[in-house]
Amino acid sequence: MEAPDREALEGQIRAHCDAGDKKRAATLLLEGYGREVFAFLLARLRDHDAASEVFSQFTEDLWKGLDGFRWQCSARVWAYTLVRHAASRFIADARRREAGKVPLSGAGPLSAIEQRIRTATLASARTEMRSRLAELRESLPVEEQTLLILRVNRKLDWKEIACVMSYEGEVVTDEALEKEAVRLRKRFQIAKERLRRIALEKGLIPPKNDQ
């Protein structure tokens, strides 16, 4: 989605929130950003069933949390924050992972949209050939993988990424976000260099000619 279209979508979502039309606001948010968020989960978890379960939980969290969303960031950044927290909870809870899919208990109005987005995104993902560089990215630590996706693929700015990477329930000041953005940018550069070094070793990219 191009920036002007995204700005228009953000304006529409906020207008419906301000008007008290929670269902329409949530529907626009999920339809506008659902596929890229689910694709992020597929890259993050590398398991279709796990990504589907976490996406269901994310949809429920979105529905339950929309009333309390205060627009300190964009709806898009908020969506990535919600889904990263849902993924972190999923990874940390082995019992929940073994229990199978958890039905949407609190997001009934969004369940049909959620399922349609998952189906369409999975179908697209299964037809795409995985690149060697994408496979190499998966060898990096999870935080570095996440930074690469959010910065390179999703083109979030560093303050937005700092917001997404914050701990669940954490109240973050602008000053703290700026400081964390600097740290994450340095971590990103380290990850890029590490990925480039591995790619050079495997002959996937040519070495620089220093002469």
pLDDT digits (tens, 9 = 90+) for 94-133: 555 565 554 444 556 788 888 888 888 876 665 443 566 6
Q: Can you give the pTM of this predicted structure?
A: 0.80
Three-class DSSP labels, 91-151:
HHCHHHHHCCCCCCCCCHHHHHHHHHHHHHHHHHHHHCCCCHHHHHHCCCCHHHHHHHHHH
Domain boundary among 95, 128, 161: 128
Domain boundary among 76, 95, 128: 128
Domain residues for the domain of 112 are 1-128
pLDDT for residue 146: 93
Question: pLDDT tens digits, residue range 7-45?
Answer: 999 999 999 999 999 999 999 999 999 999 999 999 888
Do 102 and 196 fall into the same domain?
A: no
Do 20 and 81 fall into the same domain?
A: yes
